[in-house]
Amino acid sequence: MVEKFFPNEVVDGVKDINLDSLAEKRIKGLILDVDNTLAPKFRTEADNEIVLWIEKAKNKGFKLCIVSNASKERVEKFNDKLGLTAIYRAVKPWKRSYKRALKMLNLKAYETAAIGDQIFTDVYGGNRLGIYTIFVKPIHKEKSLFNRLKRKFEGYIFDRYYKMN
């Protein structure tokens, strides 16, 4: 049962994603989370390394879309330098936002990868539609009680994941 929360890949950071390997898997589009995936929550703009990584992905032919549970203001400000299509207040892991992103990218689920730092939103949401999922280790350690509890449950999932892989 916990397998529905397993990502297809685990990487340390977005820049560690092997874009050539994704292309070999016939992945053509990337659905990107913002907070703690592309940048810490407190950073309002994409840094130069992320801008370069996004450009590299575009140059390799990937279509990109931001799908974030963050507010419109947060997503739009962060996306200023990137100029990607974006969905804010996505209510991940609901399928609706992922389906909307697939439509915006004009791709099928099996042609797309979802990239994010949370098992119960990014990974589970992508898995529900058959999207290839990549878990990125969170950039910044969050201190709220809710997030600490959530990460404990994610630890349980990863214990099972690493035992099976």
pLDDT for residue 161 is more than 80: no
Mean pLDDT is lowest, of 37-46, 57-66, 98-107, 137-146, for: 137-146
Q: What is the pLDDT of residue 41?
A: 85
- pLDDT value at 139 more than 90: no
Residue 111 has pLDDT above 70, yes or no: yes
- Mean of all residue pLDDT scores within the chain: 92
- For the domain 2-164, what is the CATH code? 3.40.50.1000
Nearest to residue 161, comparing CAs of 112, 127, 111, 129? 127
Residue 26 to residue 73: CA distance in whole angstroms: 33
| Domain range list for the chain | 2-164
Q: Provide the sign of the torsion angle of the four alpha carbons 112, 116, 121, 127, taken in this order.
A: positive
pLDDT at 165: 67
Tens digits of per-residue pLDDT, 44-92?
999 999 999 999 999 999 999 999 999 999 999 999 999 999 999 999 9
pLDDT band at 150 (very low <50, low <70, confident <90, very high): confident
